[in-house]
Structure 1
């Protein structure tokens, strides 16, 4: 494992407009009341009551500071990142790491139906540059799955719900022109042990196709009335938290706007 710079990466100039738009304040956020989820399946209601303290303004946009490890080429590389997130509209994720001692900075972003990945060694030499419909479809599934960091989004009228059991519920989240089915596992106390969705992706250099994309929550924390995951491992396939894992993420700070 390598070490990443201790400083959070800057938002690239080309992504600043999207960053600011995604973090524009939620208009007229209502204070949370448990009765707001009365029409939702029991597991979804239990999650919301756990995740949102009574009276908390239902702010949907999220700014996070993070660190962790990414698996690339069979090795784990330390990184630091920031994120602007509105699950229904997209995200901007600036990230910094170091490959064999050479600093690399980049940004993954989705805004509406447009997505882009750009990563540069020394901030100058492009090593990853991608865009297009396949990437946008993949990024939209990521945004939908990150509803766990924006519990207020669960009450948006465009998000539909399907009950599976008392401990499992499906959120149907519209992002990027498609509806993404996100299965949430809900513990007895309302915490989220994990979840899965189908994600359009290239895995290990293979072709674009649908894969199981899942995450396991290892810890959670409370920020401004919202209780959200703070330590997560995620990846592809049936063993997404083991052999299929490609990211170990720790969330250092969360602000809902």
Structure 2
């Protein structure tokens, strides 16, 4: 059986990191090695497409499996992942593969995504997980995962109560007509929901930041967050 969270586990953790972690993880919450999330939302790929997705993550790796559109037919299935130093994306239409990419550019981008998405289940950010925290200001904290060498540090903006409002990191981006480079990536978080003692954002809006302009393309709302891996 997984251990349960106790506030004593935050002894020695510097403010405001302690304020954030104490807000998002309740005493008694199960400390699972991995977590499963179900969600609905939309993503803009030329047109805006609605999806229903299930994701497993542990703070250093993830698998995200979505079906578009989110209805009974579900003809298009997309899978993104990062684990063991390899990332990739693939799509299948009516069971036939449309695309697949596990190259170095998508791997490097997926590594930072894996670490950023720790914030979706903040139990993965407790001290015992090996995460390394630093304080930037009273309302800005940053963490990294040494075991994910391709991932960039992630900054979390919080309020006076420890509620997160924004997550940002430099993330690798490679376009057809431009070489790969690090570009700011941002997720804004709104609302809160509690599942199994873990407080998660109710809504996430994410996208690239180009010339200081936020260009969101991804929106998601969580339906369930539970301990354990179940795809």
Same fold (TM > 0.5): yes
Alignment match, 1:227: 199
Determine if contact 1:174/1:180 at 8 Å carries over to the other structure. Answer: no
Mapped partners of 2:146, 2:137: distance in 1: 22
Task: Give me the TM-score of the superposition, normalised by structure 2.
Answer: 0.88
1:211 partnered with 2:196: no
What is the CA deviation profile of residues 154-210 of structure 1, one whole-angstrom value per residue up to 9, with x for unaligned ones?
Answer: 223521111111110001123533353110011111111111011112258643211
Where in structure 2 are the equivalents of 1:30-109 lying within 5 Å?
30-73=3-46, 75-88=47-60, 90-98=61-69, 103-109=75-81
State how far apart, in whole Å, the 1-side matches of 2:147 and 2:120 are: 16
- TM-score normalised by the chain length of structure 1: 0.80
For 1:31 and 1:86, how far apart are their aligned partners in 2? Answer: 16
Cα pair 1:81 1:93 within 8 Å, conserved: yes
Name the one with the larger strand percent. 2
RMSD: 2.4
Q: Deviations over 1:57-101 (max 9, x none)?
A: 22241101111010111x21111111011112x111111114xx9
CA distance in 2, matches of 1:234, 1:245: 5
Give secondary structure in 2 for the equivalent of 1:137. helix
Structure 2 CA distance, aligned partners of 1:78 and 1:51?
A: 28
CA deviation digits over 1:112-154, x for unaligned, max 9? 112221112223141x211122211111100100111232222
Is residue 163 of structure 2 the alignment partner of residue 197 of structure 1?
no
Q: Deviations over 1:193-234 (max 9, x none)?
A: 111011112258643211101100022200011101121000
Greater displacement, 245-254 / 148-157:
148-157
